[in-house]
Amino acid sequence: MTPETPIRWQRKDLLGIAELSPAEIGLILDTAESFSEIGERAIKKVPTLRGKTVLNLFFEASTRTRSSFEIAEKRLSADNINFSTSGSALEKGETLIDTALNLQAMAPDLVVIRHAHPGVPHMLAKRIKAGVINAGDGAHEHPTQALLDAFTIRRHKGRLAGLKVAILGDIEHSRVVRSNIHLLNKMGAQVTIGGPRTLMPVEMEAMGVGVAYTLEDAIRDADVIMMLRVQLERQGRMAFPSVKEYFQLFGLTTARLAAAKDDVIIMHPGPMNRGTEIASEVADGPYSVILEQVTHGVSVRMAVLYLLSGLYEERS
């Protein structure tokens, strides 16, 4: 445990990184370290959450987050139920609140929710007794992604404080960048964000980061480069003339990596658009830790589920 580790975990919900203290972030990362070894065993299962019920509510597409939560829940022996808009009463006009209250009536212990609208997990958390975990709400926050990113950086660099982290791409539509800025600032890293002006909201400088408008300026002397997906589906109209031009200006290639530190690591939350924000030679190359991020996502989500279950508090 870090020196700042709190003795007790008192939160019912994990809604965003903005509300967490550095000590709470440290506790989640340290707890994830203790769970990560389970994924290396022949029998990847412990009874920690036996008798607990987790609802996974995904109202937006997901590959990594959804399957990672499901695996984390199964590894901890929780009972889990997966729910999506297709085939639910939401299609028949039921409101999200009525759906939530009906689900609450079945007494789940935890609810994991992803929704296209910012604030939906917060609204749910106020209305139900179960702990709520935000698995991504619009362009607002994606706390477990930032936590698994921090876990991956710590594994490679041994620390977060003092590192230069460059985050590049479609800043405007990214919940990942917002959660990462909160986390990295709280933990003492130095963040620079980069991308085209048309995808750079004016309020970003107020978040306490450097802002660069060329890839080279953003990644200069970086210890960590995090590439973000260009979210064409969230753009009303394309914010740049063509994908070809975007790649020429902001696509990460091996040649361009020369501006970063020699031991830089390359990250991406996925899904990746190869040939748009990142070249395959970089995504699959020696500096890439992109698949490690996915592996660590399971340990981090096990830690979050465990801490929110109340069992840590009972045992400490």
Residue 177, CB-side half-sphere exposure with 13 Å CA sphere: 31
Total count of residues recorded for the chain = 316
Q: Is 145 in the site for ligand CP (CB under 6 A)?
A: yes
Active-site residue 64, yes or no?
Answer: yes
Give, as ranges, the residues between 252 and 311 that touch ligand CP (CB under 6 A).
269-271
Q: Is 210 in the site for ligand CP (CB under 6 A)?
A: no
Instruction: Find the catalytic residue in 31, 65, 152, 276.
Output: 65
145: left (phi over 0), alpha (psi -120 to 50) or beta: alpha
Q: Is 134 in the site for ligand CP (CB under 6 A)?
A: no
Tokens at 301, concatenated: 């989500």
Residue of 166, 207, 204 lying closest to 186 (CA atoms): 207
> What is the distance between the alpha carbons of residues 282 and 254, in angstroms, rounded to a whole number?
6
Please write down the HEC assignment for all residues of 36-54: HHHHHCCCCCCCCCCCCEE
Active-site residue 45, yes or no?
Answer: no
Least distance from ligand CP to the Cβ atom of residue 315, Å: 31
Instruction: Find the catalytic residue in 52, 66, 114, 175.
Output: 114
> What is the distance between the alpha carbons of residues 91 and 14, in angstroms, rounded to a whole number?
28
Instruction: Find the catalytic residue in 52, 66, 140, 142.
Output: 142
Q: Residue 278 — φ and ψ, nearest 5°?
A: -150, 140
Q: Is 63 in the site for ligand CP (CB under 6 A)?
A: yes
Least distance from ligand CP to the Cβ atom of residue 188, Å: 24
Active-site residue 114, yes or no?
Answer: yes
Active-site residue 274, yes or no?
Answer: no
- For ligand CP, the closer CB: 39 or 270: 270
Tokens at 163, concatenated: 């590192």
Q: Which residues of 238-256 are buried (b: 16+ CB within 10 A; e: fewer)?
A: ebbeebeebbeebbbeeeb
Q: Of these, 18, 23, 33, 62, which contacts ligand CP (CB under 6 A)?
A: 62
Least distance from ligand CP to the Cβ atom of residue 214, Å: 26
Instruction: Find the catalytic residue in 12, 64, 157, 274.
Output: 64
- For ligand CP, the closer CB: 89 or 116: 116
> What is the distance between the alpha carbons of residues 306 and 298, in angstroms, rounded to a whole number?
12
Least distance from ligand CP to the Cβ atom of residue 231, Å: 11
Q: Is 64 in the site for ligand CP (CB under 6 A)?
A: yes
- For ligand CP, the closer CB: 117 or 244: 117
Distances (CA, A) of 107 to 25, 110, 113, 122, 302: 28, 9, 16, 19, 20
Residue 58, CB-side half-sphere exposure with 13 Å CA sphere: 15
- For ligand CP, the closer CB: 259 or 300: 300
Q: Please work out the total of residues on this chain that contact ligand CP, with binding judged by CB under 6 A.
A: 11
Least distance from ligand CP to the Cβ atom of residue 58, Å: 9
* Footprint on this chain of ligand CP (rule: CB under 6 A): 62-66, 136, 142, 145, 269-271
Q: What positions carry a catalytic annotation?
A: 64-65, 92, 114, 142
